[in-house]
């Protein structure tokens, strides 16, 4: 499931959409990534590692799951945020994590 949305441009679009919503430039990430890397990432030519998603999220000021959740919502336009949150909640509850 994760591989499907990461293979497309969903992750790239999510990162760019969040960055733009915070009115940040690609240069903002110079402490953790070059502008060139950010451009390649946002154009879907590279996929970030979990560690890179965590670094980007921390720099932007969002939770890493915000990037992943938005990626799923972009990749699956019929999916609604409330439904996805409920599914995650139910799955975590089932494995005794809530």
Q: What is the CATH number of the domain that holds 29?
A: 1.10.260.40
Which pLDDT value is given to residue 97? 73
To the nearest whole number, what is the mean pLDDT of the chain?
90
Q: Which residue range forms the structural domain that includes residue 53? A: 2-94
Number of independent structural domains in the chain: 1
Give the pLDDT band of residue 96 (cuts 50, 70, 90).
confident
Q: What are the C-alpha distances in Å from 93 to residues 6, 13, 73?
A: 26, 30, 22
Residue (of 8, 23, 28) closest to 71 by Cα position: 8
Whole-model pTM: value is: 0.83
Do residues 66 and 18 lie in contact, with contact meaning Cβ atoms separated by under 8 Å?
yes
| pLDDT tens-digit map of 77-94 | 899 999 999 999 999 999
The percent of residues in the chain predicted with pLDDT above 90, rounded, is: 77
């Amino acid at each position: 499931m994760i591989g499907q949305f990461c293979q497309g441009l969903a992750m790239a679009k999510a990162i760019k959409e969040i960055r733009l919503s915070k009115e940040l430039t690609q240069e903002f990430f110079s402490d953790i990534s070059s502008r060139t890397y950010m451009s390649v990432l946002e154009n879907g030519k590279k996929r970030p590692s979990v560690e890179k998603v965590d670094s980007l999220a921390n720099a932007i000021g969002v939770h890493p799951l915000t990037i992943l959740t938005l990626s799923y919502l972009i990749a699956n336009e019929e999916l609604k945020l409330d439904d996805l949150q409920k599914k995650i909640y139910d799955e975590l509850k089932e494995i005794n994590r809530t």
